[in-house]
Structure 1
Amino acid sequence: MKKRVLVKFSGEALAGSDGYGIDTKILDYIAEEIRELVNNDIEVGIVIGGGNIIRGVTAAADGVIKRTSADYMGMLATVVNGIAMQEALEHKGLNARLQTAIKMEQIAEPYIVRRAKRHLEKGRVVIFSAGTGNPFFTTDTAATLRATEIGASMLIKATKVDGVYDKDPAKYDDAVKLETLSYDRALEDSIKVMDDTAIALAKDNSLPIVVADMYTKGNLLKIINGDLSQCSIVK
């Protein structure tokens, strides 16, 4: 059987040094990393956040915009990123499908799990956007939900660090990398691998969460093939 994984990218990762919008060089780099996976017969699903455009929690912070509306704005931001990722993947010669949790037929397919699985079986990369389609749920939770629904063997959270630390390594020189940790420890110690809802859902479904540096070329393929030296795993 082919390996099937879901890779979660933050929206902020697409912004590059500008901190906002989409850096096409980073988009191209990610597409190349995904192409390497597909070329090795790995079925790939992708979830991308929307923080490079707008974050629901931030938009609703001062009360001018209601949280529900702000979260829907954030969902639409993930669709913008999904369109960009689809274009980048197709530019690399890959077949890609964008599915949304909110219907917008002129732009993307509606999310249907059976259709998503069929796309994956045919070697197409499937991008899941618009979160879960519900406010108050993050794209971390959406990624865990979609990974569970499609039967992914692992959820890879591609970040700017090479794993999970007991404290912020950018602020503390004595931060210790945690090679492995349990779901319970991540929840009890508030180690922000993902939000608590996502971790609890992963625990309920025995879905491993791998945290890895997206900027280490070839790292995704190494992880999927069993080399966990450059990442942390929650299981």
Structure 2
Amino acid sequence: MTEAGTPQTTFKRVMLKISGEALMGDQGFGLHPPTVQRIAKEVQAVQELGVEICMVIGGGNIFRGLAGSAQGMERTTADYMGMLATVMNALAMQSALEGLGVFTRVISAIRMDEVAEPYIRRRAVRHLEKKRVCIFAAGTGNPYFTTDTAAALRANEMACEAIIMGKNGTDGVYDMDPRQHPEAKRYDEVTFDEVLSKNLKVMDASAIALARDNNMPIIVFSLDEPGGFRGILAGQGTCTRVVEKPSARPDIPGPSPA
């Protein structure tokens, strides 16, 4: 803690990855403005710690390309539609953040200059240095790649120190779905290779491999917990750390194994 009682964090720049479903609240579809506002306040609280924040938001609350493909739609077209859904979510988050006085930039992998900046790495880095929240939209700009992969890619390009995965309904990584199996075990720490070999539901395999190859730690926590994002970065609360080797990154905040 600082003298003023403000929690400290070892991180200077992080990537926050959340699903599109996180923005729909109790609704079954679309955006729930109070939920968007709540998450925006979480981001604001972390920025007040002096942390530079990147964000990637999925689009599953509006349209999921893989689901569209499964129903007979041509996969490439379905994926591009999913990318557009992520832009809508990014604009909603930008509006909520700027309503709180947090300066943001929506940066799209697909050019749409009237509503978002095109992705230029050096420009994005400069925005972060100026303490603007950068919301990366439209995935990687390519079909067949998920927003998980986009988050891992942008996190590495922006030289983030960790990917923070905000989950709904779960406070970490479990060996089974805890919503269906009350006896499921939560991991305090797990390696990238274990995530892949045990098919643990963290991110898709491409994203995990990209994070592993660049030694980018992933911290999984519950987005439902008020103050959870700020707490995790300050070394408080419950989470799972995904790292290259067990205890390879002791500076990563989180509870110690029992």
Alignment partner, residue 22 of structure 2: 13
Partner of 1:171: 180
**Is the CA contact 1:2–1:41 (under 8 Å) kept in the aligned structure 2?**
no
Aligned residue runs from structure 1 range 75-94, under 5 A: 75-94=83-102
Query: Which of residues 133, 149, 152 in structure 1 aligns to 2:160?
Result: 152
Matched, 1:124 2:132: yes
Query: Which of the residues 101, 108, 119 maps onto 1:111?
Result: 119
> Within 2, Cα distance between the matches of 1:10 and 1:172?
22
The answer for the alignment partner of 2:60 in structure 1 is 51
Give me the whole-angstrom Cα distance separating, in 2, the residues matched to 1:2 and 1:68.
37
Aligned-residue offset at 1:192: 1.4
Aligned length: 233
How many angstroms apart in 1 are the aligned matches of 2:94 and 2:120? 18
Q: Measure the CA separation in 2 of the matches of 1:202 and 1:35.
A: 26
Distance 1:31 1:225 in 2: 18
Deviation at 1:39, TM superposition (A): 1.1
8 A Cα contact 2:11 2:161, kept in partner? no
TM-score with structure 1 setting the length: 0.97
Give 1:2 deviation, angstroms: 6.8
Q: Deviations over 1:170-218 (max 9, x none)?
A: 0011100011100000001111111000000000010001110012122
- Distance in 2 of aligned mates of 1:212 and 1:226: 12
Runs of 4+ in structure 1 displaced over 2 angstroms?
Answer: none
1:75–1:129 Cα contact (<8 Å) kept: yes
Kept after mapping to 2: 8 A contact 1:141/1:198: yes
What do residues 128-173 of structure 1 show as CA deviations (whole Å, max 9, x unaligned)?
0000000000000000100111011100010111000000000011
Tell me the secondary structure at the aligned position of residue 52 of structure 1.
Answer: coil
Q: State percent identity of aligned pairs.
A: 49
Q: Which amino acid in 1 is paired with 2:37? A: D
> Aligned equivalents of 2:125 and 2:210: distance in 1?
20
Deviations along 1:39-88, whole A, 9 cap, x unmatched?
1111001000000000000011132x200000000000000000000000
CA contact (8 A) 2:220 2:240 kept: yes
2:227 pairs with 1:211: no
- Give structure 2 stretches of 5+ with no counterpart: 1-9, 244-258
CA distance in 2, matches of 1:208, 1:163: 14
CA RMSD for the aligned pairs? 1.1
